[in-house]
Amino acid sequence: MSILPIIKLPDPLLRQVSDPIERVDDEVRKLADDMLATMYGAPGVGLAAIQVGIARRMLVLDVGGEGEPDQPLVMINPEIIKLGGAMRSYEEGCLSIPDVRIDIERPSSVEVRYIDRDGELRTLNATGLLATAVQHEIDHLNGKLIIDFLSRLKRDIIVRRFKKQAKDLA
């Protein structure tokens, strides 16, 4: 498994809508393994393929707590079937926008249909942190970022800061 570079704001690729994966093969499984290694190494609880520069509809998650065994979840072509009615606010961070945390209100439960790493169609009913993480990563696949939940002024301040950092590194 390889640790892949995570692209950061203001990289325009983060705004691209990802394309579906036509079939699950060894290449897709290797990408899933590399994404999991990258996510654990970051460390994070989720990672979308677009965050490693690959505009394909795949994400990996593991919301297990510290000291618990790894519980990796690979979702290929995930699709939200149903959102719960109750809302939950959670402070979200993003590996592509380091050191930024934003309180975001999302449905507290979600039903998702996806293909697993073996090519099997699955349905997942998620609640709590898992529901939040699934919605966050699917947003990435649709070109949406956590800063999109902010006012335009706050979002512009963060984008300017990251553009300056990118310019300073260049």
- Say which CATH topology domain 12-169 has: Peptide Deformylase (3.90.45)
Average pLDDT, the chain: 96
- Measured distance CA(144)–CA(63) in Å, rounded: 21
Looking at the annotation, which residues are catalytic?
137
Residue 166, pLDDT score: 87
Residue 96, pLDDT score: 97
Tell me which amino acid residue 42 is: A
Q: Which residues contact 69 (CB under 8 A, 6 or more apart)?
A: none
pLDDT digits (tens, 9 = 90+) for 96-145: 999 999 999 999 999 999 999 999 999 999 999 999 999 999 999 999 99
Sign (positive or negative) of CA dihedral 144, 113, 61, 16 = negative
Query: Structure tokens of 5?
Result: 């570079």
Give whole-number Cα distances, 1 to 14, 30, 39, 51, 61, in Å. Answer: 23, 8, 12, 17, 16
Q: In the chain, where are the structural domains located?
A: 12-169
pTM above 0.85, yes or no: yes
Q: Mean pLDDT over residues 23-40, rounded?
A: 97
